[in-house]
Structure 1
């Protein structure tokens, strides 16, 4: 049977084929590939460069022979010259300013590495002689203005960093990942799929996965997936999350960025089987890979909270022939049902708050729940209380604001000593500002919460209000 990894790589025929190539879906692919084809068909007048003394006679002879050679002859040239071949390409990059020629040189190098990944060794050996790293000249290229040039350089960097035995150091990794993140979020970036391809290539290696997470890469993926992007970008970036999820330690961090709700939304709207497949594969890893039971439970609860079970039921009703998808549906359904059976009311509440998608579920209005669990909002350095406060600060959803204000009020009503904590976190000021909100329900919940924050005897005040009403 075809493995999931092979199948996903087949999917990437429409997106980037790793590790050897490029990709996208029919339409968008093809701005980068179209330009690359034009670059390959461009004939550089190397004679003019040598006559103008811009390149040496040695470099001219090599590049002329390489350009004119058939595949077998090119392979012989590379094997015979070895690091000298790499030296020539890098010298040409450094001595020629004309952008079209630089594009041609980079595309030639990229094609050469794509044709045979083992050829990275010639750049590695040249770098040793010059006491640099093989990717250093290409990292410098990322500062250029031409969009095709910088993306072609990025593709080469990813190949050099992954195909060989030498690994990129922390400083270069930080620089490169920062560049990739900037490109992913750059407005109207026409080459964003090529950027995602480079990231997919890098995240094949565990040490790069760890570095990407340390450089807040998940925040960038989340911000892109939360916006309006096509299914190809969804697929490529969720593919990146999938690769990150193979590291058990990273699995414990992934949903701290609230990625499960975003992927659950994409799953509910997706009409592309490859997007469905990769999301289910991520969800399965988030249940299967973590070593801590608490992390598994938190991830499962987040999926339950985001109504993934309902989506699994919908998928079960469809005629899906892919065995990996059906197996993942069965696995996830079983695990999520098991988690629901172990679910306490506080687990349910905690998962809902962490998802940021508050609604009037029964626990919010339950007197028994708040009486028994109010002090649990103090756990983990007031984690849930901080999230409620943050939601009051950032959310524009009236329902979320209503429930957040209500819960902060209930917390201090049942735990009066919590008033100072809420005030220190800025919750009191935030609640008070919503007393003039345009939505009447928000105003009402904010008013009640402020009353609970201000008075010492809520029960007495409640009785007085009831008597006045009568």
Structure 2
């Protein structure tokens, strides 16, 4: 998958290509050999066809030039102390790897060679963000891996983890240009299951910063992101973005982040549940779908949701319903999209969600909401009919699993969403009123004690709901005396 290079990178490489290098002086200083210089001159500043012919006629020689072989030192190793020469060689090598696909594969043809030996150390050349050598090295490594589609131990267990860590540092940078470079290079690397699994294994460095970018784009940042996202499900949608989205995230960066996570979603059968548990991915993507500014971003959001939900129907479809995805897809059904793949994915996703909702009751929806770990004022909470019909069922469900979940939810402070505590108090009060003989079960989970604690909350709604819930306990305590 080819993407246009970020402007910053293209400009940097162009400037380096135009720099005059005193090659003869470099040879005299021992920075490279006469033989190495001859190979460089044969492919430097020549037409692409000439370059391809020269390299394809001597693939092993050019692999040795940059990777070394049998005690012969690589030109990159020799030039490592000359930043100007090293930068020039890195740009030249990335150009060669782009122009001559066979060169990437040649690096891995000998089983006893280590193609990364003289390249990988340059990734740690310095921690100074102004030093272009680590950045240019990362570009070479990406071209080398992506061009060869290599999955060897040298790539998967050593080079790839180091490269992901470096690119992760770019995506966390405050400079949007560096962020975009990191994200685009990720996209080139997710070419196989081995690479995607390693990407997920390092998710604190790789996936986490991308989710932060998406949250910023969705206007969700700071504090409890999960609480802010759930609160957003009841808020009116903002108008579409233009050149820049929420949090100053550019449209191109948004698209590239969505592209990377779409590629990762092909591992949804293995990682979908964890992806949602750790990052609220279904809720976040539903929110992004409401705000998506262009067809190309909408296509990626819908395609990713379909991969996630179709591979994790039992665990993730309930969350999708709570996030109001069915209503959103219904609204999107009237949109006239020009992209046939988008239309197909939208229709498949809508059918999947509709098929699920056909068989689900209000009780199922309530169970799914509690299991999501976040409560909102959905219809069941205020429905006397719902509690009359389902209170006992809730208490008995899977040996009290729902009540245990309620207790877990109530133990959190919910600093950014006190409504969750008010709703939980409401639900406990309803259970007491409908099934008073089961009060001891609720007390075993510490719910009465927690209700009494919440009477001292600063939030007025939490105090009111906790008082109402405790009133049920007191009423039935007096009635049974």
Contact (CA 8 Å) 1:120, 1:163: kept in 2 or not? yes
Equivalent position of 1:74 in the other structure:
51
Equivalent position of 2:27 in the other structure:
50
Equivalent position of 1:96 in the other structure:
80
Q: Distance in 2 between matches of 1:379 and 1:179?
A: 47
Q: Distance in 2 between matches of 1:147 and 1:311?
A: 47
Equivalent position of 1:225 in the other structure:
214
SS of 2:21 mapped into structure 1: coil
1:403 equivalent to 2:392? Answer no
Can you list the C-alpha shifts for 1:244-296, whole angstroms capped at 9, x where unaligned?
222333345432331011111111111111000111111222233x2xxxx31
Q: 172, 178, 185: which is aligned to 1:191?
A: 178
Q: How many residues align?
A: 424
Aligned pairs for 1:306-455 (under 5 A) are 306-353=323-370, 355=372, 358-365=375-382, 366-368=386-388, 369-376=390-397, 384-385=405-406, 388-389=409-410, 392-393=412-413, 395-404=415-424, 406-407=426-427, 414=438, 416-422=440-446, 435-445=455-465, 451=470
Contact (CA 8 Å) 1:297, 1:339: kept in 2 or not? no
Equivalent position of 2:133 in the other structure:
149
1:123 equivalent to 2:144? Answer no
Equivalent position of 2:70 in the other structure:
none
Equivalent position of 2:259 in the other structure:
239
Q: Distance in 1 between matches of 2:365 and 2:316?
A: 12
Deviation at 1:409, TM superposition (A): 6.6
Equivalent position of 1:206 in the other structure:
193
SS of 1:169 mapped into structure 2: helix
- Structure 1 unpaired stretches of 5+: 1-17, 24-28, 465-470
CA gap of 1:190–1:428, structure 2 versus 1, over 3 A, is farther
Cα RMSD after superposing both structures: 3.4
CA gap of 1:459–1:202, structure 2 versus 1, over 3 A, is farther
Contact (CA 8 Å) 1:200, 1:239: kept in 2 or not? yes
Aligned pairs for 1:158-307 (under 5 A) are 158-164=142-148, 166-167=150-151, 168-188=155-175, 190-216=177-203, 217-227=206-216, 228=247, 229-247=249-267, 248-257=269-278, 258-288=280-310, 290=311, 295-307=312-324
Contact (CA 8 Å) 2:210, 2:257: kept in 1 or not? yes
Contact (CA 8 Å) 1:183, 1:189: kept in 2 or not? no
Can you list the C-alpha shifts for 1:342-378, whole angstroms capped at 9, x where unaligned?
1133431243345565321132344343431135486
Contact (CA 8 Å) 2:414, 2:420: kept in 1 or not? no
CA gap of 1:150–1:389, structure 2 versus 1, over 3 A, is farther
Deviation at 1:195, TM superposition (A): 0.8
Under a length normalisation based on structure 1, what TM-score does the superposition of the two structures give? 0.78
CA gap of 1:109–1:300, structure 2 versus 1, over 3 A, is same
Q: Distance in 1 between matches of 2:427 and 2:164?
A: 40
Q: Distance in 2 between matches of 1:135 and 1:393?
A: 50
Deviation at 1:204, TM superposition (A): 2.3
Deviation at 1:120, TM superposition (A): 0.7
CA gap of 1:399–1:57, structure 2 versus 1, over 3 A, is same
SS of 1:416 mapped into structure 2: helix
Contact (CA 8 Å) 1:66, 1:74: kept in 2 or not? yes
Q: Distance in 2 between matches of 1:204 and 1:422?
A: 50
Q: Distance in 1 between matches of 2:463 and 2:362?
A: 28
Can you list the C-alpha shifts for 1:287-316, whole angstroms capped at 9, x where unaligned?
33x2xxxx3143222222212233323323
Tell me which protein shows more helix as a share of its residues. 1
1:460 equivalent to 2:476? Answer yes
